[in-house]
Amino acid sequence: MIIRRALPQDAAEMADILNQIIAIGSTTAYQHPLQTEEVMLHNITGTGVLSSIVAVQDGRINGWQSVEQWQGEAYIGTFVRVGIQTKGIGTALFSRTCEMLRQAGVRSIIALIRADNAPGLRYYARLGFVDFATDPNFALEAGQIVGRVHRRYHVV
């Protein structure tokens, strides 16, 4: 597996991975498919993007992770191709992300995780993220209350 910086030409495949996850539901707060251009702007080329990497195996992107600055904080998102989660892709991505963030002088990152996203909660806990807030009333557009956990990781 090769971990490398995400490139603009990766945006379509990154969007495909994310949109498959959105279609399944329950492991992302995203509720509507994203266009390639949106993924590119918010996760690869935008001015707030601090880090954006992909995991490539056999010429195919199997996962990606980006960190974007918003309201003075760094927020992380991790997306692994459906059907191959728990194979170490997210951990490998995170290791490289931390290297990049340390070089950029980023001190901490935040993960906002749906409270009903058990795999996401386990993943970020395993990496060492610590709860610092909760939003028990976080609701999806349809009104379903799923809650949200706010976790922080100190990079340096």
Give pLDDT tens digits for 73-98: 999 999 999 876 767 899 999 999 99
More confident site: 31 or 143: 143
State the distance between the two ends of the chain, measured CA to CA, in whole angstroms.
26
pTM for the model stands at: 0.91
Give pLDDT tens digits for 40-65: 999 999 999 999 999 999 999 999 99
Instruction: Please say if the pLDDT value at position 24 is more than 90.
Output: no
How many residues make up the chain in this entry? 156
| Mean pLDDT of all residues in 100-129 | 95
Q: Which string of DSSP letters, residue by residue, matches 102-118?
A: HHHT--EEEEEEETT-H
- 82: CB partners within 8 A, 6+ apart: 17, 20, 21, 24
| Mean pLDDT of all residues in 116-121 | 92
Q: Is 2-154 CATH 3.40.1390.30?
A: no
**pLDDT, position 110:** 98
